[in-house]
Amino acid sequence: MDPLSLLRKAGLEAEGPPVPLHGGDMARVYRVGAYVVKTAEDPPRGLFPAEAEGLSALRAWGAPVPRVYWWGEEGLVLEYLPPGPEDWEGLGRGLAALHRGRGEAYWAGAGFLGTFPLPGRQGGDWTEFFFLRCVEPFLRATWKRLGGLGPKVEALFHRPLPTEGPSPLHGDLWHGNVHFSQRGPVLLDPSFFVGERGVDLAMMRLFGGFSETFWRAYREAYPVPEEVERALPRYQVYYLLAHVHFFGEGYLGALWKAISAS
């Protein structure tokens, strides 16, 4: 659906022509006046409602996110937040505050990483929760492309992952999902669930882009235990399997490196 038609369906008035914005690999994103309109070609059912629910969940936990004006199967309408100065220190403190939050149990609704559907799950042992909810679906989807790495991935989760307590997670926190606005740092495009903060830390480390100022502020606000640091390659396996699924065997080398570091 084109952005102006989607705005009309949402009952909102367009202010000027659509201007394309960078929207990653999964969606088409436009600024239309005070709004950001996201849509996609034949999106999987539930994709945009899940994103709206994730943004609402992050907001409920105190994280800065854009306001959601409307969502449906066709797309999503958010507030437009004009770009502002980079504030890595503020981002570090804010993310540490989010991760310090504690849920009653591990929890995930049925959702997505990119356009890949992930099942809902609630409670239980963290290592089993993370493997069954996050890793195993991608492992099944990529098994024939892994060249013998599948059993090695499975073996990684025979050992327990360290636990600090159930925390609200962005779930897909690479640097492209951070926006520095005039109101300060804002989180975008979540794959929200309640789990261990190592999941977010692992994604931030995987492809870089987060400054040393960020890491210093984060660690000062919420130090990272050595056992969590050592577990980050196992969490990165999740995201690398996703990249093998979406982008191909070129990520098998990085996957092997993460397995070897685990």
Q: What percent of the chain has pLDDT over 90?
A: 91
The pLDDT value recorded for residue 99 is 98
- Tell me the pLDDT band of 189, cut-offs 50, 70 and 90: very high
Neighbours of 50 (CB within 10 A): 21
What pLDDT does residue 213 have? 98
pLDDT for res 38: 94
**pLDDT reported for residue 23:** 62
Average pLDDT over residues 158-174: 97
C-alpha–C-alpha distance, residues 163 and 176, integer Å = 27
User: In the CATH scheme, what is the homologous superfamily, with its name and number, of domain 3-79?
Assistant: Phosphorylase Kinase; domain 1 (3.30.200.20)
CATH number, span 88-261: 3.90.1200.10
Token pair for 76? 């999503």
Express each pLDDT in 98-151 by its tens digit.
Answer: 999 999 999 999 999 999 999 999 999 999 999 999 999 999 999 999 999 999
Domain regions of the chain by residue span: 3-79, 88-261
Return the pLDDT at 152: 97
pLDDT over 70 percentage in the chain: 99
CA distance 41 to 63: 29
**Segment 13-51, tens digit of pLDDT:** 888 889 998 765 678 999 999 999 999 888 999 999 999
DSSP structure string for the chain? --HHHHHHHTT----S--EEE--TTT-EEEEETTEEEEE-SSPPTTHHHHHHHHHHHHHHTT---PPEEEEETTEEEEE---B----HHHHHHHHHHHHH---SS-EE-SEEETTEEE--EESS-HHHHHIIIIIHHHHHHHGGGSTT-HHHHHHHTTSPPP----EEE-S---GGGEEEETTEEEE-S---EEE-THHHHHHHHHS----HHHHHHHHHHSPPPHHHHHHHHHHHHHHHHHHHHHH-GGGHHHHHHHHHH-
pLDDT, residue 24, reads 57
Residues 25, 87, 172, 200: which is the catalytic one?
A: 172
**Residues sharing a CB contact under 8 Å with residue 104, sequence separation 6 or more, in sequence order:** 166
25 noted as active-site residue = no
Q: How far apart are the first and last CA of the chain?
A: 44
pTM equals 0.95
Determine the pLDDT at residue 42.
86
Average pLDDT over residues 71-82: 95
